[in-house]
Chains A and B, each alone.
Chain A
Amino acid sequence: MKESLGVYDYWPYKDRPKIRWPNGAKVAFWVAPNIEFYELDPPDNPYRKAWPQPSPALPGYTIRDYGNRVGHRRQMALLDKYGIRGSVSLSVALCEHYPEIIEMCQERDWELFSHGIYNTRYTYGLSEQQERDMIRDSIETIYRHTGQKCAGYLAPALSHSERTLDLFAEVGTELFGDEAGIYTCDLFHDDQPTPVSVRSGKRFISIPYSLEMNDTIVYAVNKVEPRHYGEILKRHFDRLYQEGEESGTVMCIPTHNYQVSCPHRIKAFEEVLEYITGHSDVWVATGREIADYYLEHYYDAALDDIERKKGSVK
């Protein structure tokens, strides 16, 4: 076990090379709906229980099922209204279970990225080959159903190994070269994209996907009131917009249709989308669009700057 992850360097937020998003935007804004499949009777993983009760564990399963049966269409209508294309963190087995949802995403030109096969199958305990197989399965499944070459990864239920990012980058390259496996959402260390070193040496980055703004963390872990969630999203945006004057920032709202799309919570979310998209200097984008733009315009300068700052005390 490592003492530190070691895939990125310390890179102070202060005095970085200036980022400017398309059309001079200060904030690149993306919404990442998690469209997940939790199994009613998943096999046991010795490192983590899927559910607190013995199967069938209805309390957890049924509310997540609600997301797919009810919530998804509500959020989709809302994102349509504000001209936002979702970047879906997808349990890819959903392509087989509920293809209607995938078709609706395709019609809207939404991005689909991998969130594993099921959100009840963890990375813990898998051999490197097994994890590689799972990642390959997920990229191939998205391609087979949509023709999309999966650009991003968020490990299933945030279950990682030391090699997760390396494997995603490698399998992406094996299947589709530089078109797949280019960004991770698994790192929560920054408000701007950052280079991440993977063992293959591929140009690979982290795109901010804030857990602090993630509705499940906010509602289920931090127990925040719905209208207060609206408030903190606005404050989060306001600050990133202000700082984006100096150098472009990224704001992500990760959502779950069994959380934010409940009737008592969706109003607060709608107000936030109206507020954010009402600002002129916001680039409403997808994860892949942000990654592509960054890789093309800022990745090399970032590497140089990181290198320079490593030696600055000497």
Chain B
Amino acid sequence: MSLDNDYLEYPWRAYGNDHERYDWSMLADRPAVTWPGDKPLAVWINTSLEFYPLNQQGKPFKVPNGMKMPYPDLRHFTLRDYGNRVGIYRCLKAFERFGIRPTFAINTQLAQDTPYLLEQLLAFDGEILCHGWNMDHLHYGGQDKDEEAELVKRSVDTLQELTGRSVRGWLSPAKNQSWNTPDLLAANGIEYCCDWVNDDMPYAFRTENGPLTMMPLSTELEDQFVIGQNLHSEDSWVEQVKDACDFLLEEAATQGGRMLALNIHPWLIGQPHRISSLEAVLEYIAGRDDIWQAPAGEILDAFTAQTAKED
């Protein structure tokens, strides 16, 4: 049996993207951006703080780094928990030492369950963004819209109450969305989202509730991807981050300011044998005069101020 002929029909085959969320454009063609202090490179260090439930449902797919063994999978549960109990404090110490202004993406349930941790994060001159409810509450195509609306609202509202701050940013668990997620984020006052990793700069994104900015948080460079999934050495990760900074600095010299988004996970990089690699990366970043290190929201503000001026 062969496939129906509609398999060879292509309804979106025309100029531009195959959806209407944002306009097609190539990074190299866009107007040049300058960061505060005329720095060519903005570096955003995102620290992901996550709760992986022991009884994960895995609906509709098993989240990466979640439970893998039959219940109760203590081995993966406790190792992820290690990040929130131990690893994060090594990271915080390193941020302090190198004067880093971090962004923390936290699962709201974790913020609720660990007030001490939240207090420690709030004490930092940084930013807190919402990383969804927990690592088993996924956003996915086919999800009931009311159910997802409740989930987004609960996640954002609760985090705002707990932090006493307005939450501007969103990172979906596993960076996965439903067709409605961006609309729901905008409806809840979210200004930027970190799920679409298709650029090296912020860009405008449409929702039915007004504009949203996408702040691409590179997957390919994060500790979890490079060390945890690709099994590259810790030294290679450091090299890769430095190579990326060097390349973007060079590109910025002819094309205007660039952004490097570095996502880290305390359960992984906060291990005793890996924390020195984070320190090496931070030392490099802090040591460069041509890097502006800032939380995501401030990078967004600097970007928006300029792109608005050009209109």
- A residues sitting closer than 8 Å to B (CB atoms) are 37, 39-41, 43, 45-46, 52-59, 61-66, 68-70, 72-74, 93, 96-101, 117-118, 121, 125-127, 130, 133-134, 137, 219, 223, 225-227, 262-268
What are 24 inter-chain pairs, A to B, with CB distance below 8 A?
A: A37-B18, A45-B3, A53-B140, A53-B176, A57-B176, A58-B195, A59-B176, A62-B195, A63-B220, A65-B198, A66-B197, A68-B26, A97-B14, A98-B24, A100-B26, A121-B7, A125-B2, A219-B230, A223-B230, A223-B231, A262-B218, A263-B260, A264-B241, A267-B243
Q: Which residues of B contact A68 (CB under 8 A)?
A: 26
**Do A262 and B18 form a contact, CB below 8 Å, given A43-B6, A59-B174?**
no
- From A39, A63, A226, give the contact of B18 (CB < 8 A): A39
Stretch from B86-94, B120-128, B232-240 forming part of the interface with A: B232-240
Q: Which residues of B contact A70 (CB under 8 A)?
A: 26-28, 198-200
Report B1-34 residues with CB < 8 Å from chain A CB. Answer: 1-3, 5-8, 10, 12-19, 24-29
Question: CB distance B199 to A69 under 8 Å?
Answer: yes
The yes or no answer to B219 lying at the interface (CB within 8 A) is yes
Contact A130 B2 (CB under 8 A): yes
Q: A45-B7, A58-B196, A126-B3 are in contact. Are A264 and B141 (CB under 8 A)?
A: no
Of B197, B241, B246, which one neighbours A62 at CB under 8 angstroms?
B197
* Residues in chain B near residue A227, CB distance under 8 A: 236, 239
Given the complex, which residues of B lie within 8 Å of A134, measured CB to CB?
8
Say yes or no: A73 contacts B26, CB within 8 Å: yes
The interface residues of chain A lying within 8 Å CB-to-CB of B218 are 262
Contact A59 B175 (CB under 8 A): yes
B residues near A (Cβ < 8 Å) are 1-3, 5-8, 10, 12-19, 24-29, 60-61, 140-142, 174-179, 195-200, 216, 218-221, 229-233, 236, 239-241, 243-248, 251, 260
**Contact for A226 among B27, B216, B240, B245, CB less than 8 A:** B240
Contact A43 B7 (CB under 8 A): yes
Interface of B, secondary structure class, is: loop
Whether A130 and B177, one on each chain, are in contact in the complex, defined by CB atoms closer than 8 angstroms, is: no
Pairs of residues from A and B, 9 with the lowest C-beta to C-beta distance, nearest first: A127-B2, A65-B198, A263-B244, A264-B244, A54-B141, A264-B240, A73-B28, A223-B230, A263-B247
Taking CB atoms, residues of chain B closer than 8 Å to A55 are 141, 179
In-complex Cβ contact of B27 among A41, A69, A96, A133 (8 A)? A69
Residues of chain B lying within 8 A (CB to CB) of residue A37: 18
A37 to B197, CA, bound (A): 16
The answer on a CB contact under 8 Å between A262 and B220 is: yes
Known: A96-B13, A97-B15, A130-B3. A66 touches B248 (CB 8 A): no
Residue of B nearest to A222 (CB): B230
Q: Are B19 and A264 in contact (CB under 8 A)?
A: no
How far apart sit A133 and B222, CA to CA, in the bound complex (Å)? 42
Instruction: Say yes or no: B244 contacts A39, CB within 8 Å.
Output: no
How many whole Å from A92's CB to the nearest CB in chain B? 10
B188 CB, nearest partner CB in chain A, Å: 19
Rounded to whole Å, the gap between the CB of A170 and the closest CB of chain B is: 18
* Chain B min CB distance to A36 (Å): 13
- Contact with A130, one of B8, B26, B140, B241 (Cβ below 8 angstroms): B8
How far apart sit A47 and B10, CA to CA, in the bound complex (Å)?
19
Tell me the smallest distance from the CB of B307 to a CB of chain A, in Å.
16
Given A130-B2, A264-B240, A267-B246, decide whether A58 and B199 contact each other with a Cβ distance below 8 A. no
B16: chain A residues at CB < 8 Å are: 97
- Report the bound CA distance from A133 to B25 in whole Å: 31
Report B-chain residues with C-beta under 8 Å of the C-beta of A264. 220-221, 240-241, 243-244, 247
Residues of A within 8 A of B197 (CB): 59, 62-63, 66
A94 nearest in chain B by CB position? B13
A266 to B220, CA, bound (A): 13
Contacts of B216 in A (CB 8 A): 62, 66
CB < 8 Å neighbour of B8 from A63, A100, A121, A219: A121
Other 8 A-B pairs with CB < 8 A, given A74-B251, A97-B13, A125-B1: A53-B176, A56-B177, A57-B141, A70-B28, A125-B2, A130-B2, A225-B240, A267-B247
- When the two chains form the complex, which single residue of B8, B174, B221 contacts A262, counting CB atoms closer than 8 Å? B221
Smallest CB separation, B256 vs chain A (Å): 13
